[in-house]
Amino acid sequence: MRAIGLLLQAFVVVLLSIGAVAFLGFTIVSRFAESPAPVAAQTVLFTIPPGATTSDIGRALQRDGLIRSDLLFRLLVDRRGLDGRLRQGVYLLRQDMSLDEILTLIEAGQPAEQTVTFPEGFRIEEMADRLDEQTHIPGQEFLEIARNQVAELANEFPFLRGIPPGVSLEGYLFPDTYQINDGTTAGDLVRTMLRRFDDIVTVDMRSSAAARGWDLHALITVASVVEREARIDEEYALVAGVFANRLTMGIPLQADPTVQYALGRADGGRGWWKPDLTTADFSVDSLYNTYRYSGLMPGPIANPGLKSIAASANPAETPFIFFVAKGDGSHAFSVTLEEHERNIAQYRALP
């Protein structure tokens, strides 16, 4: 009887070990099948060239940071019986897509026929110009929706309800690469961009802004200015911190991009951001002129990307209330007006 008991104990131990190994294996596989990033700021144009093998595609996906494991990709392709059947073409993929989602999209064999890319910091007029240049979608129709259909769209997208009357969708049309099909309308594109915005601006970001006393509209308004000011990764949160300090202290933001936005089209009608502002420009009578009016503008001045939104939701705790561009993409930050004036004298005197 004792021998039988020992055998049963040994059997149970073996079963538990097998179960543990299986669970560990499942956990590892599940982890590698997950998306590489929880939130992806940009959509990637992924090309499958003619003659590409499953191994070629898997390696390219892993190289571009779209999947965690090319081995798991090959195993999944083999399991679905798709080896040698993945169609060539250009596909729109993101790092927040799971391995299964990516393979399902490629398996469908419907590559993007046409795409349009909007960089971070574009204002809606620049987006409209790009649509006219690169797609069949009339830019004027896009502008009409962005400017005049906010209330209607708020019925579909509740996060738009915080936009004040008379303010456009500026700031809420997330800058990314989008697929344009033959039947895509301006309304279709606007709705796709709003859904992308809703995915990007997470609950945590909105909660962090709320803890600071900012609603979503205030967050995106600040982020739009950060987008036009910051140039290097290390400074996004610092720039946001300066603006947060100024708002808390009741000091005007005094941000040049807000004046550029208020001025509108510049350079004889060729651009939307006047590069060299004059003394007269800073006197333009507009609520978007943060040299003339304190507090936040009525709305965003551009459509910010993930870095600017995340930085504005969690600005750096800093004593700085001034900064000036050095001319190389970075800024000199300062606490006092005297320091700031010295920085201006130093860096604006450079060739």
314 in the same domain as 223: yes
CA-based nearest residue to 40, from 110, 91, 98, 108: 98
Average pLDDT score over residue span 189-194: 98
208 in the same domain as 193: no
Output the domain CATH number for residue 94.
3.30.1490.480
Angle between helices 2-33 and 99-108 (to 10 degrees): 60
Q: What is the pLDDT of residues 247-271, one digit of tens each?
A: 999 999 999 999 999 998 876 556 8
* pLDDT > 70? residue 201: yes
Decide which of 179, 200, 221 is a domain's last residue: 200
Q: Assess contact for 32 and 68: CB atoms under 8 A.
A: yes
Angle between helices 203-211 and 216-229 (to 10 degrees): 100
Is 4 domain-assigned?
no
Q: What is the pLDDT of residues 52-98, one digit of tens each?
A: 899 999 999 999 889 888 899 999 998 888 888 888 888 888 888 88
CA dist., res. 336 & res. 160, Å (int)? 38
* pLDDT > 70? residue 24: no
CA dist., res. 263 & res. 289, Å (int)? 9
Is 148 domain-assigned?
yes
For residue 183, the 8-state DSSP code is T
217 in the same domain as 195: no
Is 87 domain-assigned?
yes
pTM of the predicted model as reported, rounded to 2 decimal places: 0.82
Please tell me the predicted confidence (pLDDT) of residue 21: 41
* pLDDT > 90? residue 189: yes
Q: What is the pLDDT of residues 154-177, one digit of tens each?
A: 999 999 999 999 999 999 999 999
* pLDDT > 70? residue 18: no
133 in the same domain as 61: no
- Residue-number span of the structural domain to which 176 is assigned: 115-200
Q: Assess contact for 139 and 131: CB atoms under 8 A.
A: yes
* pLDDT > 90? residue 17: no
CA-based nearest residue to 246, from 165, 180, 320: 320
Q: Indicate the pairing of strand 89-93 with strand 115-117.
A: unpaired
Is 335 domain-assigned?
no
121 in the same domain as 50: no
In residues, how long is the chain?
A: 351
C-beta neighbour count of 84 within 10 angstroms? 8
Task: Quickly state the pLDDT bin for 107 (edges 50, 70, 90).
Answer: confident
312 in the same domain as 259: yes
Average pLDDT score over residue span 24-51: 63
283 in the same domain as 257: yes
Please tell me the predicted confidence (pLDDT) of residue 255: 96
Task: Quickly state the pLDDT bin for 27 (edges 50, 70, 90).
Answer: very low
224 in the same domain as 181: no
273 in the same domain as 184: no
CA-based nearest residue to 67, from 23, 29, 14: 29
Is 23 domain-assigned?
no
Chain-centre distance for alpha carbon 40:
7
Range in 11-20, 122-131, 260-269, 331-340 the model is least confident about: 11-20
For the chain, helix (H) and strand (E) counts, in that order, are 14, 6
For residue 39, the 8-state DSSP code is S
Higher pLDDT, 298 or 265: 298
Please tell me the predicted confidence (pLDDT) of residue 28: 40
Q: Average model confidence (pLDDT) for the chain?
A: 88
171 in the same domain as 188: yes
Is 63 domain-assigned?
yes
Decide which of 200, 231, 263 is a domain's last residue: 200
Is 306 domain-assigned?
yes
Is 150 domain-assigned?
yes
Q: What is the pLDDT of residues 207-251, one digit of tens each?
A: 999 999 999 999 999 999 999 999 999 999 999 999 999 999 999
98 in the same domain as 179: no
Please tell me the total count of domains within the chain. 3
224 in the same domain as 278: yes
Decide which of 108, 124, 150 is a domain's last residue: 108
* pLDDT > 80? residue 34: no
DSSP string, 106-166: HHHT---S-EEE--TT--HHHHHHHHHHHSSS-HHHHHHHHHH-HHHHHTT-GGGGGSPTT
Angle between helices 124-134 and 139-148 (to 10 degrees): 150
Q: Assess contact for 292 and 274: CB atoms under 8 A.
A: no
The residues pairing with 331 across neighbouring beta strands, listed in sequence order, are 325
